Amino acid sequence: MDPLTIVQPAKELVLEHPRLTILGLALIVFSTSALWNAVPRGPWKKLPPGPRGLPVLGNVRELIGDKWLTFTSLREKYGDLMYLNAAGQHVVVLNSLQAVAGLLDRKAAVSSHRPRSIVVGIMTGNLMLPFLNPGEIWHRMRRASQDGLRAGVVPLFQPALHREALTLAVHMVSDARADRSTEWYGHIQRAVAASTIKMIYGKTAVHSDTDPDVRTLNIYLERLTRSATPGAYLVEILPFLQWFPAWMSPWKRMANQAFATDSTTFKRLFNETKGAEVEIDRPSVVKTLTERSKALGLRQEEEFWLAGAVFTGAQTMTGVLSWWLMAMILYPDVQKRMHDELNRVVGRDRLPTFDDCDNMPYMQAMVRETIRWRPIDPLGLPHNTSEDIWHNGFFIPKGTMLVPNVWAINRDPGVFGEDAHLFNPARHLDKNGKLGPAPADTKEEGHVSFGFGRRVCPGRFFANKMLMINMVLLAWATNIDGERGSDGKLVPFDVDGCIDEGIVVRPVEFACNLTPRFPKALSMLQDHLSELSSQDY
């Protein structure tokens, strides 16, 4: 079957088998209630506070819709740790920086597991690093990812990142001149995917978002993120369904087919890169894995899937750049200060480079602020406790799902100031206008969107560099605005809405006009891109 037509996962929701669902939920809740009543004076009475749930479904009302907003509104009443019952599954929401630092960072030895995900496990052959539980395979792949994506190797990829950012700027400005103000998302998606593919596989220029590899990997990514959404499949609630044969289980046929298709894709891309190394000395994650494979103890299949796992970050970076464009439209004063810094550091006679980035603290703060202001993963990826935990006098039983409320933490007035709900890069600067120290327990990032403890994102150094050069080049070349009416006023658009793509969210589509800041901007971009086109990158 054509890998591009593989069955998508988003439709087999809980209501697929309503009778089984109701029966199963009733049995789970009954068993849980019986256990609860059997230990009236035990540690279970020390669970964190939380809203009262329904008799059968538990806190289903709090688990529908934009959950991060619901959890944030409940924080004032229930505090930093909030307990929910998801049809018998213990859930503790972590609503503060102190809570995630105390539980996910300092107690990482017992809080680094992932909740069970039967469908994702089959789809990935239990080889997808972000979803693996600690064990031999996880330790090998984690060590390899940290080795291949460490801060020291990121400069090797800067020429490729610069070229893709340059290509994005040319496309965005050209579209603005042609009055195609709503096509910007596709260009960002292509640029991010191309940068990531080039970093992983060393592949030469990807000119379109219809490129076969970009398209195939984007389909894989969409399928994975939607399948990882809690409750996306009935089998996650009624685990005994996993033992049903494939002919009775459409989800199992989809998952098995996905694993076969994605394994073939990852193996092909990996081996193509490995074979090309004889002729071309180009940096790539594959090259690093190949050179270090024996020392890292990786099996061949683990290499294929680890390289594929790195691509999962592409969707998050596309979302961050989308939110940044929105911020530029909503906060023209911020955009002016950004342009002032670019005028001072770079001017208009040459294009900015990575060498300029260290001299632009406001742009560095811009990257931090964008990720903080509208986190693309408002609830992060949940953790699971592998042992009973006591924290601040509360009992958190083994097997509890720990949900970090990244949205609330990134917008906590106690950490980021009373204007934490606003977009203000200056909050990350010191009194001298230099990039200041980040708040404690944010790992010098100025936010918590890159994860916690042993689950912190190994690709964060690459992500920061990629976001920086894309923002710098777009800002240097363009004025960023929304759609304006005949009266010159900004046409209202959905500022607070979002498109939920499973694990990450992005803005609802909006018009974005990027016009050249000065007459020669577009021609300078095009000329430099032409020069680079004759080179390997």
Q: What is the DSSP letter of 498?
A: E
457 annotated binding-site participant: yes
| pLDDT score recorded for residue 329 | 97
State the pLDDT at residue 183.
77
The tokens for 402 are 């720990």
Which parts of the chain have pLDDT scores under 70? 1-42, 176-182, 204-210, 276-281, 534-537
Short-list 274, 306, 275, CA closest to 290: 274
Q: What are the residues whose beta carbons fall under 8 Å from the beta carbon of 509, sequence distance 6 or more? A: 182, 185
**pTM of the complete model:** 0.88
Torsion, CA 127, CA 133, CA 134, CA 135, rounded to 10: -50
Name the residue among 105, 115, 241, 222 with its Cα closest to residue 504.
222
In DSSP terms, 91 is beta-bridged to 84, 401
Residues 328 and 480 sit within 8 Å (Cβ to Cβ): yes
Size of the chain in residues = 537
Q: What was the pLDDT predicted at 22? A: 42
What's the pLDDT at 372? 98
Give the pLDDT confidence score for residue 26 in this predicted structure: 45
Residue 356's closest CA among 531, 90, 210, 165?
Answer: 165
Up-side HSE of residue 135: CA atoms within 13 Å toward CB?
12
Task: Give me the CATH number covering residue 330.
Answer: 1.10.630.10
pLDDT of residue 16: 39
pLDDT at 301: 92
Pairing of strands 383-384, 401-404: antiparallel
Look at the chain and report how many structural domains it folds into: 1
Q: How far apart are the first and last CA of the chain?
A: 34
User: Burial of 119 by CB count in 10 Å (0-12 exposed, 13-18 middle, 19+ buried)?
Assistant: buried
Smallest CA-to-CA distance from 380 within 405, 402, 408 is with 405
pLDDT of residue 1: 41
Record the tokens describing residue 317, joined without a space: 């970076």
**Do the Cβ atoms of 401 and 88 come closer than 8 Å?**
no
Separation CA 314–CA 336 (nearest Å)? 29
* Residue carrying structure tokens 């965005």: 172
Which residue range forms the structural domain that includes residue 32? Answer: 3-533
Question: What burial letters (b/e) apply to 260-273, b meaning 16+ CB within 10 Å?
Answer: ebbbebbbebbeeb
The residues facing 505 across adjacent strands are 500
Res 118: pLDDT: 92
What is the residue type of 402?
A: L
